[in-house]
Structures are given as C-alpha cells and as structure tokens.
Amino acid sequence: MDLTEKRRNGLTLIVRTRRRRVVDNEAFAAFVGRIMRAYARRIEGGDIEGLADMHKLAGELRELTGETVRRLVETEGYSWADIGRVLGIKRQSAHEMYARRRVVATSGSEVATRAVG
C-alpha cells in the first residue's frame, strides 16, 4: 500500500491507496491451463500412474490458492468482499473458505475451529 496526501477544506488527509502492479496474469493463466490440459491428455493416453501426480498437483493448487487469498487480505489490504467479487461468490463464503482457522474448543476426539481475520 502507498500513502498519498490529499487536501480538502484546508486539511491534509493521508490516504492509503493500493499499488496496481501491471502483470499479464490472464495470459499466464491461459498458458498454465494449456499445460494442465496437455498433462491430462498424457494421462488419458494410458499413463495411469501419472494420475497420482495430477491429484497431488490439484491439492497443491488448492493450498496455494488459500495462501494467496490470505496474503491479499492480510498484507495487501484487500477485503473479503473484494475476494468474493473476483471469485464470483459472496464475501461470507470467501471468508469461510479461506480465512485462517484456529482451535477454539476440544471435546474428547472432536475439535471445533473458528475462522480468524
């Protein structure tokens, strides 16, 4: 986040603004999608052992998505509404899916968690 000064009614306001980095994420995502589809075609061609690796990659992608969302909220200042908007889901759903969780109570073998942040 950057800080900028704005003057209003004789007052100087310090306003936090988000840096907008220019990156070509859309083209990069399309490239990654092509690689994933090519990998799937190789497995479909009879390389059943590759299915385990594909499953592992899917798990890593889910984990990285969660980490990325949390960094956007915690360090870049994006809101859960911002995250929900770009994912096409409600703010509350985004928070439930990606917020950090902490243990709030244990009872025997059951553990209760609560979203944090």
Average pLDDT in the 42-57 region? 94
Domain ranges of the chain: 2-116
77-106, pLDDT tens digit by residue?
999 999 999 999 999 999 999 998 655 566
User: What pLDDT does 27 receive?
Assistant: 92
User: What pLDDT does 107 receive?
Assistant: 64
pTM tops 0.75: no
Q: What is d(CA 39, CA 49) in angstroms, rounded to the nearest whole number?
A: 12
User: What pLDDT does 66 receive?
Assistant: 94
